[in-house]
Structure 1
Amino acid sequence: MVIKYKAFENLYQDSVSLMQLSSQLNKIDGIQEASVVMGTEANLSRMADAGFGSDIIAKPNDLVIAVKGHDDACNEAIERAQDALTAKPDEGDNGQQFSQPLTSFSLGLEQHPEANLALISVPGEYAAAEAMKALNLGLNVMMFSDNVSLDSERKIKELALKKDLMVMGPDCGTAIINGVPLGFANVVRRGAIGVVAASGTGLQEATCRIHQLGEGVSQAMGTGGHDLHQEIGGISMLQGLHALADDPDTQVIVLISKPPSTEIAERILAVASQINKPVVVNFLGATNTDVQLNNVHFADTLAHSAEVAVAILRNENIPNLSSQSNTQKELENITQSLNTTQRYIRGVFAGGTFCYEAQIITGQYGLQAYSNTPMQGNKLLDDVWTSQQHTIIDLGDDAFTQGRPHPMIDPTLRNQRILQDAQDPETAVVLFDVVLGYGASEHPLSDLLTIIDQVRNEQSLTPVFIAHVCGTDSDPQSRDLIRQSLVNAGVQIADSNADAAHLAALLVSQLG
């Protein structure tokens, strides 16, 4: 087993492309682990923590390929990565390539003066400066980049506010603008419901559910996870709210976020109540849903947000929160195969908001869980790599993605954790998500079905597998086909992340 690396001077690639390339290299026989990153100090430190050593020499603008495995496989991986990185772009329709590379927003605007949005995906320490450049050129901004300080984020958003421009992010992974999916987004039909969300997978869940219910999305804007912090004040969410209020194609508005501070929540709700359109609000786990405000309707879960919005759009009765509809008899049939030693839920999530929502719902059943990202009332895992009692983890957290692709791009880490937890004789339920759409793995069930089959064939104690598939049949990966493959493998499928969590918690609570 050897470690090899190669650095390419002044070769920039965005983080999604690098994660996808890392995923491809990790699939080569004989490769134990591969990482492709820009050579920033933070990335080099993460690679050292991931076991690639501390002797890699690179500058921030250099691209670094590091591989660990058998000697021949490492050579093959580096050669394959080099070919991918140095391949010439396809020729345009006129058979000509640009004579000058587009190395700045100014040059990009010269080629495309009609453009009005810049997507920024550079290391966090450089992202703020690039956002300022874009705003000063009159461009709206989507910042896929994370690790931007709150002080920098506020300055960026205050400049955007002054220029009447929108900033989505930092750490905004999902948006749908004028029908175009950006980042980790799904293919949904156009329609009359607009969404503003401080959560990537929360936005995906809501927009997919709207699509599944037969309606469509006008615009879906992400704000980044820090927008509703006290230091930022919900600037982007308020801008998005006003933009949708002025949009003639939007008839119903949905707002999604983890619970903001009382002051920020009151500010957003006050503005929402003054808009002449119905607004559906889901502050995940918030306790102020009994407040009566003009035009404001509260939802209890991500999927419920979409269901309420669709009912309002159709002028139908607003639905109560629906939970998993399994009857008591069906639950008894599911639990008959479990042993008395099996009593814990092990939640394995690629979506951070799905992890958070699952913790909220299991807590409603009196179940206290451990997590690497615990909500209030839950506990921090002693070791993020090892589950204890009820455990609900976010595999997209930095602790798991240092030097590795995000599990939505490469499900290898998710599969390994599912196998590890399924082999624990105390595990009653393995609860997990499968996220589809652009940017996500083309083969999200790669190796997973084999692992489930292995568990069923080799173990005397088999847990119940419960899953939710977030996506649509218009996605590059068909939701129906993915769901049917899981059903054929004996997995219990829920219609939403909340339903999956309800079923898992109800099942475990029945065990006594």
Structure 2
Amino acid sequence: MTDHVRIRSGAYADSVTLLQVSKRVAATPGVAEAQVAMATPLNLDTLAAMGFDVPEDTSPNALVVALRLTDATLEEALAAVDEALADASRPPARDGTATTAPARTTASALREAPADAVVLVSVPGASALPEAMDAVDAGHDVMIFSDNVPLEAELALKHAATGRGVLVMGPDCGTAIVGGVGLGFANAVRPGPVGIVAASGTGTQQVVSLLDQAGVGISAALGVGGRDLSEAVGGLATRTALARLDADPDTRRVVLVSKPPAPEVAVEIASHAGSLDVPVELALLAPGTDLTARTEAVLASLDVAVPRWRRWGEPERAGAPGFLRGLFVGGTLCDEAMLLASDVLGPVRSNIPLAPELAIETSTLTSGPLVDDHMMVDFGDDALTVGRAHPMIDPTLRLAALARAAEDPSTAVVLLDVVLGHGAEPDPASTLAPAVAAARARAADDGRTLPVVVSLIGTSADPQGLEPQAEALAAAGAYVFTSNAEATRHAVDLVSAAGDPLDPMSPSVAASGERR
């Protein structure tokens, strides 16, 4: 087996395209592994962790091609890379009915757009401002899927939008449902009386999926970006979105979903929500609050019976004393899990910590030993998506972290989320289920039991299929929940039952005669 790394200066492709190129080249006979990516620091760290030797002076604007070959020659593998890149850059075939060429700029597209068109911006974050501002200036609502957008750009856009009476969804708005159409990562749900306003993508998906399980549909889901309820932004887009749903005759209830907001902004928004005609359920994450409970409150207000949230698989007894390791693709789901876990287990370390002193350096998430503590990682955080597709599309970093967690004897329980819907991986269980089985087998080889708990967010109508995904994960040994809060509580119960790994009287320490 031989490794080869080639640097191509001045070449660029977006992260989703390069992910597809990498998968296609890796499937070439004689190619063991292939990574084709922009040479951002994060991607270079990932390649180093995979054992590839990349020149230190590589520019982030270069394309890196890393190949691990068995029987294929380098020439054959590079030819496969070139063919995959060429196919990815080729425009889709037309059916012969189009009479005009597609617009080349946002401004020219807007001149032809209907008055009620929503503009979707998905470009590198540093380039999002002019594209989105063109839409705002033209009087259109805009959804900004891009992440890594500077705060100053967000403020400029939302102040301009407030003046024009339009809505800016984002930046980093991953989920929306407008006019019955899902945008970004969106679950397939029925129409109904509940509207969502959310400073959270996966939080929205959790709420709409639970509502769907109870037979309740959605009128609209308006994302506002994860920073909208921060002190700096002050809920500018949230107010506009609430006004839209307050004026919508099809919306009988609104749920306001957010990762932990700035306290003073939460008070102001709660007061504003209370002044509206439509009842608003506040699902603002904080100690003692979880999205499942808030969804159940909405169901009660609609006189809908709360079902028993679905589960698959068999619960396990606690293993050896150790730490809870949560590996998430959803930032709000990670926040919710940290809040619930810290109430019982104490402080939880994270790359999106509940307190600054609990922060984990991003570099430790891709290589090196795990922190000697309970930890939860949001692999969708901006710092881990520079030059990479979101982990709901590209699971590479999380799968590597799962393997590292399984190798660490201090890992007592692994907690994962899987988010289904349009835009996400077409079959996440196809890679995660074997990784779960391998992790459990790795622990068993060391004489340990490693429970794996999964929160599966989705609906039966999603393209991946809720039931087939759940059954595949359960067959691999995971215990699968449709409620992230219930999954977290179960994982915490297992860790608590196993005991404190730093307690000198715990079984693992007593056997070895020393503390970790």
Inter-partner Cα distance in structure 1 for 2:352 and 2:301: 34
Of 461, 483, 505, 1:496 maps to 483
**Alignment match, 1:295:** none
Aligned to 1:380: 359
> 2:4 aligned with 1:2, yes or no?
yes
* Partner residue in 2 for 1:475: 462
Kindly state the Cα deviation for residue 279 of structure 1 after the two structures are TM-superposed.
Answer: 0.8
**Superposition map of 1:65-104 within 5 A:** 65-70=63-68, 71-72=74-75, 74-92=77-95, 95-97=96-98, 99-104=100-105
Asked whether the 8 Å contact 2:440–2:451 carries over to 1, the reply is no
Q: CA distance change for structure 1 residues 258 and 447 in 2, over 3 Å: closer, same or farther? A: closer
Q: Who is 1:334 aligned against?
A: 317
Counterparts of 2:141 and 2:183 in 1: how far apart (Å)? 14
Q: Between Structure 1 and Structure 2, how many residues are aligned?
A: 476
Separation (CA, whole Å) in 1 of partners of 2:157 and 2:127? 13
Alignment match, 2:350: 371
1:167 equivalent to 2:156? Answer no
Q: Where does residue 190 of structure 2 map in the other structure?
A: 189
Q: Return the match for 1:423 from 371, 391, 407.
A: 407
Identify the range of structure 1 (405-414 vs 454-463) with the bigger mean alpha-carbon deviation. 454-463
Q: Is 1:116 aligned with 2:117? A: yes
Q: 1:354 to 1:22 in 2, by over 3 A?
A: farther
State the 1:510 CA deviation: 1.6
Alignment partners' CA distance in 1, 2:349 and 2:41: 27
**SS at 1:473's partner residue?**
coil
Q: 1:324 Cα shift?
A: 11
Residue in 1 that maps onto 2:232: 231
Secondary structure of 1:230's aligned partner: coil
Q: 1:145–1:400: structure 2 CA closer, same or farther, 3 Å change rule? A: closer
Alignment of 1:204-215 (within 5 A): 204-215=205-216
- Whole-angstrom distance in 1 between the partners of 2:388 and 2:14: 15
Contact 1:120 1:131 in 2 (8 A): yes
Residues 183 and 503 of structure 1, relative CA distance in 2, 3 Å threshold:
same
Q: 1:414 corresponds to which residue?
A: 398
**In 1, Cα distance between the equivalents of 2:6 and 2:99?**
35
For the Cα contact (< 8 Å) 1:120–1:143, is it kept in 2?
Answer: yes
Superimposed CA distance per residue, residues 255-298 of structure 1 (whole angstroms, 9 cap, x where no aligned partner):
011232232112211111111221111111157xxxxxxxxxxx
CA separation of 1:57 and 1:412: change in aligned 2, threshold 3 A: closer
1:404 correspondence with 2:383: no
Residue 433 (structure 1) aligns with:
417
Cα distance, 1:452–1:155 mapped onto 2, change above 3 Å = closer
After TM superposition, which residue ranges in structure 1, 4 or more long, deviate above 6 angstroms? 322-326
Could you tell me how far 1:451 is from its partner in structure 2? 3.0
Give the distance between the partners of 1:183 and 1:18, measured in 2 at CA.
19
- The 1:492/1:273 distance shift into structure 2, 3 A limit, reads same
**Greater displacement, 71-80 / 141-150:** 71-80
User: Alignment partner of 1:442: what SS?
Assistant: coil
Contact 1:30 1:73 (8 Å CA) reproduced: no
> Does 2:162 correspond to 1:129?
no
Q: How many Å separate the matches in 2 of 1:403 and 1:165?
A: 30
Q: 3-state DSSP class of the match of 1:172? A: coil
When structure 1 is superposed on structure 2, of 64-73 and 203-212 the one drifting more is: 64-73
Q: Which residue of 2 aligns with 1:292?
A: none
Q: Is it true that 1:454 corresponds to 2:438 in the alignment?
A: yes
Tell me, in whole angstroms, the C-alpha distance in 1 between the residues paired with 2:8 and 2:32: 16
CA distance in 2, matches of 1:394, 1:466: 16
Kindly report which structure 2 residues correspond to 1:151-166, keeping only aligned pairs within 5 A, or say none: 151-166=152-167
Structure 1 residues 398 and 158, CA, compared in 2 at 3 Å: closer, same or farther?
Answer: closer
Q: Give TM-score, length-normalised by structure 1.
A: 0.84
CA contact (8 A) 1:23 1:410 kept: no
Q: Which whole-Å CA distance do the structure 1 matches of 2:338 and 2:468 have between them?
A: 28
Amino acid at match of 1:83: A
- 1:280–1:305 CA contact under 8 A, matched in 2: yes
- 222-231 or 74-83, which moves further after superposition? 74-83
Quote the offset at 1:430 in angstroms. 1.1
Q: Distance in 1 between matches of 2:493 and 2:309?
A: 10
CA gap of 1:367–1:155, structure 2 versus 1, over 3 A, is same
Residue identity over aligned pairs, in percent, reads: 36
> What does 1:138-287 align with in structure 2 at a 5 Å threshold?
138-285=139-286
**How far apart are 1:18 and its partner, in Å?**
5.1
Q: Which moved more, 1:419-428 or 1:464-473?
A: 419-428
CA contact (8 A) 1:186 1:471 kept: yes
SS at match of 1:90: coil
> Structure 1 counterpart of 2:67, which letter?
G
CA gap of 1:65–1:344, structure 2 versus 1, over 3 A, is same
CA 490–82 in structure 1, closer or farther in 2 if over 3 Å, else same: closer
Could you tell me whether the CA contact under 8 Å between 1:193 and 1:218 is conserved in 2?
A: yes
Task: Label 1:305 to 1:35 Cα distance change in 2 as closer, same or farther (>3 A).
Answer: farther
- Deviation of residue 434 (structure 1)? 1.0
User: Is the 8 Å Cα contact of residues 309 and 482 (structure 2) preserved in structure 1?
Assistant: no
Give TM-score, length-normalised by structure 2.
Answer: 0.84
Shift, 1:56, TM fit: 5.8
Aligned with 1:345 (options 321, 324, 334): 324
Letter in 2 for 1:494: F
Q: Which residue of 2 aligns with 1:314?
A: 303
Distance in 2 (CA, whole Å) between partners of 1:260 and 1:494 is: 26
Supply the AA of the counterpart residue of 1:381. I
Change (3 A) 1:77 1:430: farther
Distance in 2, matches of 1:44 and 1:313, equals 49
Native 8 Å contact 1:349 1:432 kept in 2:
yes
